[in-house]
Structure 1
Amino acid sequence: MSAISDRDVVRALRPFVRATGPLLDTLRDANVLGLRDRAAETGADRARLDRLWDRLARVKVPGTAGWAAMDVAQRDQWWLNRVGRLVSLLAALPGVGGALADRLPIQSALGTAGQGLLLSAIAGEHGFTSTEDRVRLLAHVLFQREVDGLPIDPAGEDRATEELTSELGKRSTIRSIGRTVWKLAKVLWALEDELDKRPQGRFYHQALGMLPVVGVVGDYFGERSALRRVRKAAYEWFARQPRP
């Protein structure tokens, strides 16, 4: 197998970023039920409906008043906890097979896809919204590569991005989200030799992950630990970049 070049990495990451970025931006900016325009209020004299709306407005999810009041660090933590738990579970599920599953690229591909999703999310919170910036970030954190200025294929990217996001045009369900994450993982699967470069969990997570059945527990906490390392590496990368 020929060595994977920077161009190969960029060719995989550009549609990946384009598929994750718009989805995360929509979730972040969505004005859910018009709650962003409604301040969180309290008061015993409010009608039951008013109390319900106020309670919803305080929920810290994108589009609510509670979300708008959060600072960047709090939003990053939200992405780490909420999105991180989902992608860590998806990446850990192959760990039921123990060492056998660990020898297959599926778990690494899913874990890398989850890390890329988190990186895209927090990049947006820090103002790095362009495809180019996010590709450079993911290449640096996940694959220890510095890429920039490589030629692109707009038509090919459009087709790939449309395919990756095809499930998202339907009603959003766990199944459609899972299928989309799986598609994203398959894009990165092509970079199999590079996947082990991504941030990993602690050695004891990996040791537990080698065991059948209970390996899923070690893999889950390993992926969670790795995501915290991903966030730290992203912060270091942000600090070295010109402010967007």
Structure 2
Amino acid sequence: MSEAITDRDVVRALRPFVRATGPLLDTLREANLLGLRDREVERDADRGLVDKLWDQLSKVKVPGTAAWARMDVHQRDEWWLNRLGRFVSLLAALPGVGGALADRLPIQAALGAAGQGLLLSAVAGEHGFTSTEDRVRLLAHVLFQREVDGTAVEQDAADREAEDRATEELTSELGERSTFKAIGATVWKLAKVLWRLEDELDKRPQGRFYHQALGMLPVVGVVGDYFGERSALKRVRAAAYAWFATQ
């Protein structure tokens, strides 16, 4: 019989998780992609094709563009939910090809929880909760229904070094020009961190019952799991908003 997972176990797992997601999301949010943020739409009818192309790119609502800078907090939350949400939901749903058998494997729940944690860190940043401690408290509350202080209890120098190494390893795939492959590999590493909290994963927000029923079927189960994860992410965001209101 496995030992019960303590609050300290949750905090020790979430701290490197949050530290790995935070800088990544902050970089994506603040990156000035190709200098687009500083380039407003010009209205010179004589501009060349290249200039017109740059202006069209500056209208795209992605971090680093002028359009992104003009978005309010809730619009940015919606962007994270849709763009990031689709990507992490697909990753979490892929094991669903195996139907009920795959649903019994903790890796699918861990991938789903990793995606939810990534979204929570993104939304938290938009609402001004940028510290590791705040994000750990948020993730513990929403994903595991636990109230923790987010600090590493009795962390000595060796523990801090171990946390630093764990964080560095989680982000080792990311470079100056991170690809979808690198991002996917990083999400996989984040999922393995949460896999250690296997007994807690069922507490995270889930999809509707009909998503879970469809997910039990072989092959088409991936469809049910995908829409289930998308539905769960909306519940995650709602839970985050409720948490923000109490802080």
Q: Which residue of 1 aligns with 2:236?
A: 230
1:217 maps onto 2:217 in alignment? no
Q: Does 1:120 align with 2:106?
A: no
On the 8 A contact 2:38/2:66 being kept in 1, the answer is yes
2:35 corresponds in structure 1 to: 34
Q: Is the 8 A contact 2:138 2:240 kept in 1?
A: yes
**After the TM superposition, which of the residue ranges 147-156 and 61-70 deviates more from structure 2?**
147-156
Name the structure 1 match of 2:20: 19
User: Residue in 2 aligned with 1:206?
Assistant: 212
Alignment of 1:79-228 (within 5 A): 79-148=80-149, 149-151=151-153, 152=155, 153-169=159-175, 171-228=177-234
| Alpha-carbon shift at residue 150 of structure 1 (Å) | 4.5
TM-align CA RMSD:
1.1
Contact 2:12 2:152 in 1 (8 A): no
Amino acid at match of 1:204: Y
Deviation (angstroms), 1:132: 0.4
Tell me the residue number matched to 1:51.
52
Percent identical: 83
Q: How does 1:62-77 map to 2 (within 5 A)?
A: 62-77=63-78
* AA of the residue aligned to 1:17: V
In the alignment, the residues of structure 1 paired with residue 105 and residue 31 of structure 2 have an alpha-carbon distance, to the nearest angstrom, of 38
In structure 1, runs of 5+ residues without a counterpart are none
Q: Partners of 1:150 and 1:130 in 2: how far apart?
A: 13
The answer to whether the 8 Å contact 1:42/1:54 transfers is no
* One-letter amino acid of the counterpart of residue 179, structure 1: A
Could you tell which deviates more after superposition, 68-77 or 38-47?
A: 38-47
Q: In the aligned structure 1, how far is the partner of 2:92 from the partner of 2:39? A: 38
**CA deviation after TM superposition for structure 1 residue 46, in Å:** 2.2
Q: Which amino acid aligns with 2:184?
A: G
Structure-1 separation of matches of 2:90 and 2:21: 18
Q: Displacement of 1:49 after TM fit?
A: 2.1
- Work out whether residues 205 and 219 of structure 1, in 8 Å CA contact, stay in contact via their aligned partners in 2: yes
Q: TM-score, normalised by structure 1?
A: 0.96
Distance 2:192 2:70 in 1: 37
Partners of 1:160 and 1:40 lie apart in 2 by 43
Contact in 2 for aligned 1:95/1:219 (Cα 8 Å): yes
On the 8 A contact 1:87/1:111 being kept in 2, the answer is yes
User: Unpaired runs of 5+ in structure 2?
Assistant: none
Separation (CA, whole Å) in 1 of partners of 2:137 and 2:201: 16
Q: Distance in 1 between matches of 2:140 and 2:182?
A: 26
1:171 to partner: Cα distance: 4.5
In the comparison of the two structures, how many residue pairs are matched?
A: 241
> Separation in 1 of the partners of 2:3 and 2:140?
19
The one-letter code matched in structure 2 to 1:168 is L
**CA offset at residue 170 of structure 1?**
6.7
Alpha-carbon distance between aligned partners in 1 of 2:45 and 2:20, rounded to the nearest angstrom: 45
